[in-house]
C-alpha cells in the first residue's frame, strides 16, 4: 500500500488481511481526521507505520478499539473486532458490535468523535465472521445537490 507522497509507504499489510480493503483499517470522519484501528496489541509496528504515513498527509489521527478473532471462514479471516468498518450516513452512524467489552468503548469513542449524528450499535458477529461488515455490504456515494 503506497501513500503516494514523500512521507513514504507502509511496508507489509494489515495483520491477518489477505483482501486489502482500506475500510477495515482507516476511515475518514471529516475532511481533516481519520479513524484508525488501535493495533497496539495486534501489531504495534504496523500501527505505527500506518499512523506515520497518515500524519505525513497532515491528517489528525483518532484511534478506535480493535481486536482480532482467529476464526477464518473458507480462508477469509473474520472481521470480528473491526469497529472501523461502520456505516456512516448523514442521519445515523451504525457501529458493529460483537458482544465483547470493546463494544461499549467503540460506541463511546465514535459518539465523541462524530457529534450531532445518532450513533447506534448493531450485532454484526455473524456477518463479520464472513469477512466483511457494514461498510463492506453497503454502497456509499457522495452526491452534490443539482443546481
What are the pLDDT digits (tens) for 85-136? 888 888 999 899 999 999 999 999 999 999 999 999 989 888 778 766 766 6
User: What value does the mean pLDDT take over residues 57-65?
Assistant: 95
pTM: 0.75
The residues, any chain, with a CB within 8 Å of residue 141's CB and separated by 6 or more, are none
All structural domains of the chain, each given as residue ranges with its CATH number in brackets, are: 2-137 (3.75.10.10)
What pairs with residue 33 in β-bridges?
30, 60
Distance from the Cα of residue 54 to its chain's centroid: 14
Q: Given this model, what pLDDT does residue 13 score?
A: 52
pLDDT band for 142, please (50, 70, 90 cuts): low
| Cα–Cα distance for residue pair 130/132, rounded to 1 Å | 6
- How far apart CA 27 and CA 142 sit, in angstroms, is 15
Query: Is the distance from CB of 42 to CB of 68 less than 8 angstroms?
Result: yes
Amino acid at each position: 500500500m503506497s501513500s503516494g507522497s514523500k512521507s513514504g509507504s507502509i511496508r507489509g499489510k494489515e495483520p491477518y488481511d489477505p483482501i486489502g480493503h482500506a475500510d477495515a483499517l482507516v476511515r475518514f470522519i471529516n475532511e481533516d481526521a481519520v479513524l484508525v484501528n488501535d493495533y497496539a496489541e495486534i501489531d504495534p509496528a504496523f500501527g505505527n507505520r500506518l499512523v506515520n504515513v497518515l500524519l505525513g498527509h497532515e491528517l489528525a489521527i483518532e484511534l478506535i478499539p480493535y481486536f482480532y478473532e482467529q476464526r477464518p471462514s473458507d480462508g477469509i479471516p473474520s472481521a470480528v473486532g473491526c469497529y472501523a468498518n461502520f456505516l456512516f450516513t448523514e442521519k445515523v452512524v451504525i457501529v458493529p458490535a460483537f458482544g465483547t467489552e470493546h463494544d461499549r468503548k467503540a460506541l463511546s469513542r465514535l459518539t465523541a468523535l462524530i457529534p450531532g449524528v445518532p450513533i447506534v450499535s448493531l450485532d454484526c458477529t455473524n456477518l463479520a465472521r464472513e469477512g466483511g461488515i457494514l461498510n463492506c455490504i453497503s454502497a456509499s456515494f457522495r452526491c452534490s445537490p443539482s443546481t
